[in-house]
Structure 1
């Protein structure tokens, strides 16, 4: 794998995944030997964000997306949420980081599921900010509808109020892990991703 990062405190599940038995969070790493499936190059961040939001709307919701640096190489950070499969309620929050190159990519991510009583963060904040303020337009694609609405409760400013929430855990993992991540020199030196292949 062209990416290495700190997995301290996690139990190895297989060669490319680790789990936290206390929370159920799962960390994985992947390598894809093909042109990245991103809809736009990292330099076109507004177009990239809108396309990612529209692409995720059918199955969940893109919460936020940023261009970050992994070992001095540009990468895409996505925060997304999905309904938990085969369960009547609850969400999984995923933080994924992909380092795209011209003909391949490497990625690592964490999936953090809701457990126990679900929806507490949303319910508490609804009483604080009001139902009328809970569902603003999506910042990357105003007017976008989808399986899950964009929710004000997902804003990072609420994380300190909910330190054990899966979204907070995902963001904290990013903050801890990205600074420790290192890329194999050969991978880091590959030409950058310049956009999707055109027919």
Structure 2
């Protein structure tokens, strides 16, 4: 659970933020988590996640953090907006894997106004040659969407209403109030995809 103030519940485990259209989804998936590498092997995990994300969009960043005392995968991705040509949807996911299940909190933030503005403005600062470098986790990957220097968190203060900035801000707020079920936390730890 998390602090839902300002949100409107629109489903059993779905909350919407009316002013922005942002959505938070809580999920529990039973069975071995579909995470391609142990959390302790961050380079391999990042490379495999980047490759998987390339099929539908682009992995912006991935980190292993401690959340409620448990190892947790923090992942940020972008995908094309399904009903707004040229627009993007940014997803921030917090995935807590255990050996026999995974709990996840997903934040979805879509471009609502002018699309591509962040990339265009950062592109004028950095120059086109520096806007789309090879992916830092998997340099040979070419995905549906390019890895963009404009997605770096350093630019968030200049674009406070951008969906990527909003996703990161929601994560900060939600992670401070979210709680993990004690029975779930007591499950055996996730040791990687081949440990089952």
Same fold per TM (> 0.5)?
yes
User: Which residue does 2:169 correspond to in 1?
Assistant: 172
Aligned to 2:181: 184
Structure 2 stretches of 5 or more lacking a match? none
Partner of 2:190: 193
2:99 is aligned to 102
Give CA deviations for 1:48-85 in whole Å, capped at 9, x if unaligned: 00000001101000000001121111100000000001
Q: 2:105 & 2:131 partners in 1: Cα distance?
A: 31
Aligned pair partner of 1:89 in 76, 81, 86: 86
For the aligned residue pairs, the C-alpha RMSD in angstroms reads: 1.2
CA shift for structure 1 position 198: 7.4
User: Quick one: distance in 2 between partners of 1:86 and 1:112?
Assistant: 14
Could you tell me which residue of structure 2 aligns to residue 112 of structure 1?
109
Task: Give TM-score, length-normalised by structure 2.
Answer: 0.97
CA contact (8 A) 1:70 1:179 kept: no
Give the TM-score normalised by the residue count of structure 1.
Answer: 0.96
What is aligned with 1:65?
A: 62
Q: CA deviation at 1:87?
A: 2.6
The residue matched to 1:35 in structure 2 has which SS?
A: coil
Contact 1:35 1:197 in 2 (8 A): no
| Rounded Cα–Cα distance in structure 1 between residues aligned with 2:84 and 2:163 | 17
1:179 deviates by 2.1
Structure 1 stretches lacking a partner, 5+ long: none
Regions of 4+ moved over 3 Å: none
Aligned length: 196
Give the equivalent residue in structure 2 for 1:77: 74
- The answer to whether the aligner puts 1:52 opposite 2:49 as a matched pair is yes
Could you tell me which residue of structure 2 aligns to residue 157 of structure 1? 154
C-alpha separation in 2, matches of 1:13 and 1:182: 21
Give the deviation of 1:100 after TM superposition.
Answer: 0.1
| Secondary structure at the counterpart of residue 46 of structure 1 | helix
SS at match of 2:99: coil
